[in-house]
Structures are given as structure tokens and as C-alpha cells.
A and B are shown apart, each in its own frame.
Chain A
Amino acid sequence: MNAVIAGLGITEMGKVYGRTAPEFAADAVRLAVDDAGLALADVDGLLTNTGITGDVGLGLQRDLGLRDLRLLSEVQAYGSSAGAMVQYAAMAVMSGMASVVACVFADAPLKEPGAGAGAAYAGLTTTGWRGLAAASGIYSANTMYALAARRHMRTYGTTSEQLGHIAVAQRAWAALNPLAQMRDPITLADHQSSRWIAEPFHLLDCCLVSNGGVAVIVTTADRAADLNQPPVRILGWAQTHPGNDEQLGLVSGAAISGPAALKMAGATIADIDVAELYDCYTFTALLSLEDYGFCAKGEGGPFAASGALGPGGSLAVNTGGGQLSSYYMWGMTPLSEAVVQARGQGGDRQAPRNDLVLVSGNGGLLDHHSTLILSAR
């Protein structure tokens, strides 16, 4: 018995003010239920993942008026949470514990025009070990990932220009995506001249910050058979949490969770038509390409620079523009685009082949990783 994704809800996204994260979360679940052709009362399981504002949780049940839920929990594995929620939901519906599980992420870190966009992501801790790192100047994800990326560069010769090719390719995809926040094309020169954030990262190496919410509905293939949308089967899944810094910036959890998820799906990496990769930074996407085996270890830079990743390239990657150019909803960004692509609903950005779609999630400083293998065929 397969578990499937039967519904997808994406709220208004980006610089949307005056609404809280729990409000975005409730909207996303309603949209996903409608998309599936279900009613809210059909939902008997709810998994929530809160973003940086930290206020999406168990209270969402009452916000939505959901009665007698058979599954309710907050999930937190940072950027790998979306994949993790779908995995737990799949296991729940396959076991019969629940029949229709809504999985939702929402966040509202942007407070008002003029406020620093990333401010909520740079909260200073001033005590203990984390305080020591912050006092030393290491207090944002930008800096941590910059340290990881520099290590890849010094080990494999990866260059800033090669990272820039990922930003350019994803912006080209975003130009075809009506949901994307950033749709104006960029060039490699634009990438290189964008201001430094934390070297080796320029501004255009870094993800957006977005307000909004995304939800998916997970149910069984039987239940989904007569619903609105083509069911997207969840064929394989895995998580990896390395717990070890030795490979920082060189190898991510994708190297283990990828093969494990593919094995469950009975597929190989060569079978993947579309890859929706977690891209908090250009570098995260590059490292994932290597670790999944789309190219050899250390060859992510030349692979990106070959033009393989943009529209018309040899591998459809981050076809909605990803978190660099479409919207920053943690693991829901790659997952939502994967559902769109698997259904064949990508419009101008629809990948030519979509039999098998790979979705990655990544959280912490490359500390948490999830993989999903999806197919609507």
C-alpha cells in the first residue's frame, strides 16, 4: 500500500505583512484540503513545523477546529522537517493510525517594510558556548555555511563563479514561475558584483526570507483514487543526521539518505528526472548534487558551470527557482515544487520528464538531512 500526497496548499508568499505564522499555517492547511477535494473534517492527523518565529504548534488544531485527531505533533528537524513530516505521515497512514494527515510549515519573520530582512535569523545568544561563538563573530547561518563552503573550495577548487552558475540557473527557472518572489533574470556578473555577505558568499548566494505557509495532505493511494488531484506516490524516504563535523562542507547527509531512499523506491540516481534540492545557499545545492551522485565528488562546480541546471539543461534542478529565487519555506520549498512537477502542473517551467522526482531537505549546519522519492506515474 502506497502513501501519497493528495493535496498542496501554498499561501500568498513573501513580503506579506500583518498576518501571523499560525494564520499562514491555518490558511495553508485549508488550501491543501481544498486542493485535494477533501473537507477539513476529513483531516485526522496534523503535523506542524514552526519556523524562526516559533509559534506554529499544537494550537493549530483548535485554530482549525479539528476534532478527535488521531495524530498530532510538532516536528522539528529544521530544514529537513518537511521531508520528515511527510515520512511520519506516510507511516501513519500506511499503519492505519490515521487516514488523512496534514503537514504544515509556516513562518512570518518579515515584520514590516524597512526592517532588516534577516534580522530574525541573527538573534544573538550571549551566554555559554553559543554565546562564545557569537562573541567571536559567528552568529548567523550565513557565516556557518560560508565556513563550510570555503572548506569545499580549498579542498576541491570550487569557485565563487561556479556557485554563481547555480544562482543564475535558478533565477532563470524562477522567471517561469508565477509564485516566485524574484523573477528578473540575473547574470554571472550580477552575482559576482552583488555585495559580500560572508565571503565566499555574495548576496546572490543566499536564500530569500519569506512570510507564508505551505501544507501537504498525505493519505493512502486508495483514499486518493477519487480525489481532485493526481496522487503523488511517496515511493522512498530516508533521513541522515551525521552528528560529526569532520566532513563539514565536504560531504552532507545526502550521501547516505539519498541511496537509502532510492533503494526503498527501487530506483537509482540515473532514474531521477527532477531534483528539488534544499538551497539555503548556492553551495548547499552544489554539495547535494555531488552527494546524491548527480556528479562526482568535487565536481559540483564544473557540473554547475556546464549549464546543466537551468531550463533546457540536462538535469531539471530547482525548477521553481528554489529558496534562492522563489520563496523560503524551509523544506516545503523543494517539496511543494516537487509535487507541482510530479503532477505535471508546472506550466512554462514543467520539466520535460517527470516520472521520478527527488526532494531533499537540509537543516542546521548540514546537520539534518531528509530525502523523498516521489512519482505520480
Chain B
Amino acid sequence: MPVGIVRRDAATTEFFDGTARGELLIRSCACGAFAAPQARTCPACGCELTAWAAAAGTGTVETWSIVHNRKLPPVTVAIVRLDEGPWMQTQLVGDLPDDLRDLRVRVAFEQPQGGEAVPVFGAAG
């Protein structure tokens, strides 16, 4: 199922500039920790997060759900634990095994007409 349309706001400007370049930006702290893109405070040291870093774009499926809708085909969504540590709520695309436990995945980007580029993950080849 294609991703939906999302528009940027002031908090997501840098992130969507990143996805437009094919980069998955996450938060990076001076203490060395990484945090999810929407995080404002470092989970490790409590500092305010201001810097961004490009994630490698690889991770592991932490949990998943196949969402059913009577009018649309099922869509597989997941929480992916990036290799840097942070979690991403995301959609899984492409050919997937039945059991997604600990599946290794890699980011890709889909950009519907009129919306920002959205990160999705597929099985790492």
C-alpha cells in the first residue's frame, strides 16, 4: 500500500529536507548517544538535542502488525530498532516473510504526489 501524504511543519523541516535527499536523519547528542528524530531531550544524558546525523538506514524489526481495512489492501507496519539505537514507527514494504521477528531491514523512501518523502523499510537483501 502506498504511504499517505504528510506535510512538514516547523519541527520537521530538517527531517524532510533529509528524506528529500535520501537521508534518514536522527538526533545526535554530544554525549555520543542517538535519539529518535522527534526526540527533544537526550535519553542518555538529558541534554537538549539540537544536532542531526544521517542514520545508516539499517535496523531490526522490534514488533509489527498487519493492519486490515475493509476498503484497502492490508498494510504491514512496524517498530524498527535502528542500528544506532532509536526506534522508528514505519511501514514495511516489498516481499516479507510470515514471521517478521528480528527481520533485518533497510530504509527506502516513497514520495507520493503532493507530500514529503516518507521513509519505509524493506527486507535487507
Contacts and interface: CB of A to CB of B under 8 A. Distances in A.
Interface of A: 124, 126-129, 131-138, 142-143, 146-148, 150-151, 154, 195-201, 245, 248-249
B53 interface: no
Contacts of A143: 65, 67, 77
B63 A148 contact: yes
A249 B63 contact: yes
B85 to A, nearest CB: 11
Nearest to A142: B67
Contacts of A137: 1, 3-4, 67, 75, 77, 91
Contacts of A154: 63, 101
Name the residue among A126, A132, A199 with the largest chain B CB count within 10 angstroms.
Answer: A132
B47 to A, nearest CB: 17
Contacts of A201: 65
B5 interface: yes
B87 interface: yes
B6 A131 contact: yes
A134 B4 contact: yes
B89 A150 contact: no
Interface of B: 1, 3-9, 11-12, 37-38, 62-68, 74-75, 77-79, 87, 89-91, 101, 115, 118, 120
A329 B74 CA distance: 30
Contacts of B7: 126-127, 131
A248 B81 CA distance: 13
Contacts of B12: 127-129, 132
A147 B115 contact: no
Name the residue among B3, B7, B77 with the largest chain A CB count within 10 angstroms.
Answer: B77
A128 B15 CA distance: 10
Contacts of A146: 65, 67
B58 to A, nearest CB: 18
B118 A198 contact: no
Contacts of A245: 87
Nearest to B64: A150
Contact of A200 (B11, B37, B65, B77): B65
Contacts of B5: 126, 135
Nearest to A140: B67
Contacts of B75: 137
B38 A129 contact: yes
B77 A147 contact: yes
B118 A136 contact: yes
B4 to A, nearest CB: 4
A124 B4 contact: yes
A249 B78 CA distance: 14
A11 to B, nearest CB: 31
Contact of B63 (A131, A132, A151): A151
A151 B65 CA distance: 10
14 contacts: A126-B5, A128-B8, A128-B9, A129-B12, A129-B38, A136-B91, A137-B91, A147-B63, A147-B65, A147-B89, A151-B79, A195-B68, A198-B65, A199-B65
